Amino acid sequence: MGGIRKSRKKYDSPRKRWDKARIEEEKEIKKAYGLKNKRELRIIETFVRKKRQNAKNLLVAPLEVRVKMEKDLVKSLAKYGFLPYGATIDDVLGLTTREALDKRLQTIVWKQNLARTPKQARQFIVHGHIAIEGEKITSPNFLVPLDKVEKIGYYRGKKMVVMEDVAKPQSKEELKKKFEEAGAKPGEEKMEESGQAMQEEVNASGE
């Protein structure tokens, strides 16, 4: 039998490790988006950096190659709502980390009022209470395709409440009622985050 293979690192580390301005900005982003650690931020930063690098490479590519590859690159980003389908390479170069963070499942669940805070959104996802079209997703870092955003809802076995079918909760009591309607046990919406392992992948095409 062969030895255990070490998993491939999915993100790049900063070149300047102790940059005060960068560290302060990362703290702000981590708090605003409810990230568990900076590794999640690094994964998104690496995703954005690769897309921008691909765009830079196309600027010096032969015209016939650039036309085809530019179309594929823009299409891969438009799928997730980063850019419109008619965007250009200049638009790709302007892509930011915060724009990518806005497409994460955790952020969308929170902004759609399926959770009261980013932290609670993470708890729901990690504990298997969020689904897209009935399929349970347990990775807060999952990038949601644009056509799936309105198909996010609560998951409990085979029972699911789709966001568009119910009113958005405006209070803690309404959220609790809505969560329980999806089949959760009373008080389960308050549970603390466990040590369950999470996927740390970015589901994006075109890389």
pLDDT in tens, 92-120: 999 999 999 999 999 999 999 999 999 99
pLDDT at position 188: 45
The count of structural domains within the chain is 2
**pLDDT-based confidence at residue 160 (cuts at 50, 70, 90):** very low
Q: Looking at the predicted structure, is the pLDDT value of residue 131 above 90?
A: yes
pLDDT at 155: 87
Same domain, 40 and 57: yes
Per-residue tokens: 49: 């950096």
pLDDT > 70 in the chain, percent: 69
If asked whether residues 84 and 117 sit together in one domain, one would say no
Q: Could you list the residue range(s) of the whole structural domain that residue 115 is in?
A: 105-190
Average pLDDT (7-14) is 64
d(CA 52, CA 112): 29
State if pTM tops 0.85.
no
pLDDT, one tens digit per residue, over 56-88 is: 999 888 888 888 899 999 999 999 999 988 898
In this structure, is residue 156 part of a structural domain?
yes
Lowest mean pLDDT among 12-21, 50-59, 126-135, 198-207: 198-207
Q: Give the pLDDT confidence score for residue 180 in this predicted structure.
A: 67
Whether residues 48 and 117 fall in one domain: no
Has residue 199 been placed in a domain? no
Could you tell me if residue 196 is inside a domain?
Answer: no
Of the residues 100, 119, 151, the one at which a domain ends? 100
Q: Are residues 48 and 119 in the same domain?
A: no
Domain boundary among 100, 115, 145: 100
Q: Is residue 4 part of a domain?
A: no
Q: Could you tell me if residue 128 is inside a domain?
A: yes
Same domain, 132 and 151: yes
pLDDT above 50: residue 189: no
Shared domain check, 121 and 83 = no
Mean pLDDT of the chain: 78
pLDDT above 80: residue 10: no
Q: Looking at the predicted structure, is the pLDDT value of residue 45 above 80? A: yes
Domain boundary among 100, 119, 150: 100
Residues 96 and 154 occupy one common structural domain:
no
User: Across residues 163-177, what is the average pLDDT?
Assistant: 56
Does residue 179 register a pLDDT over 80?
no
Per-residue burial over 20-51, b = 16 or more CB atoms within 10 Å of its CB, e = otherwise: eeeeeebeebeeebbbbebebbbbbbbbbeeb
CA atoms of 4 and 55, how far apart (whole Å):
36
- Considering the domain architecture, whether residues 50 and 118 belong to the same structural domain is answered as no
95 and 148 share one domain: no
If asked whether residues 47 and 115 sit together in one domain, one would say no
